[in-house]
Structures are given as structure tokens and as C-alpha cells.
Amino acid sequence: LIFSIIYLVIGFVIALIISSRFNNNIWDILAYEGIALLIIGFLISMKGNPSGLNINGIGHDNANINSFLSNEVTRQEREYKPYYKDFIKNNVVEFAFTNITLILGGIFLLILSFILGRMPN
């Protein structure tokens, strides 16, 4: 929570500099920063199983063998632990919300942008 507030303060200072330099509304810049921080936060928080996709062997003589072996290992892993029974648990993309500070910082920036946009001039 503390780092989210730090992101909020840094975003506000950057928005002040940009709005004074380019004569834009500060709430518009805060909204853009909030959306960008929110997207970056979601992309950073993703983790998961690559589901057998492997592009390491592209261009080599044994690319087909590497691809086959990678798919075979994935098939054997799915047979060993019941992949389709616990599909939600074994899905390709999971979200690790332990690093939620960027997401909260983006939400705080969007809330501040909404509040400043509602204020009369």
C-alpha cells in the first residue's frame, strides 16, 4: 500500500510537469498514467504454465526433434497429474496478486483523475 501511494505521488508530479509544459488537463494525464500503470501491473502479475510451447529450436537442424520432445514431456506431465480434472488449477495463465502495488497505484491514479475531473474550475 505504501508503494502504491508512492506511485500515486510520482504519477501526480509527472502529470503536473506534463500539464504545465504542454497545457493539457491534469486529470487527462492522470487517467492515461493510471491506465498505463494498471496494464503494466496486470502484465507483470501474470505467471503460468507455457503449455508446451517452445520456440528455442527454430532454425536449427533438429528443430522438429526439440518440438516433439517438448510436446512429449508436456503430454507425460499431463498424464502424471490429472490436467483436465483440475483445469482451473493447471491453466496456462494465472495471476500472482502478491505484486499488486502497480495495480493499486494505477487504480489510485484513476480515482484521483476522476476526482479532479469532477471539480469545478
Complete DSSP assignment for 18-44: HHHHHT--HHHHHHHHHHHHHHHHHHH
Q: What's residue 71's pLDDT?
A: 74
Mean pLDDT of the chain: 75
The average pLDDT across 14-37 equals 88
Comparing 44 with 67, the larger pLDDT belongs to 44
- Which pLDDT tens digit goes with each residue over 45-63? 776 655 555 555 566 666 6
Provide the pLDDT for residue 115.
Answer: 86
Asked if pLDDT for residue 73 goes beyond 70, the answer is yes
- Each residue's pLDDT tens digit, 27-43: 888 888 889 988 888 88
Indicate the length of the chain as a whole number.
121
* 46 three-state secondary structure: strand
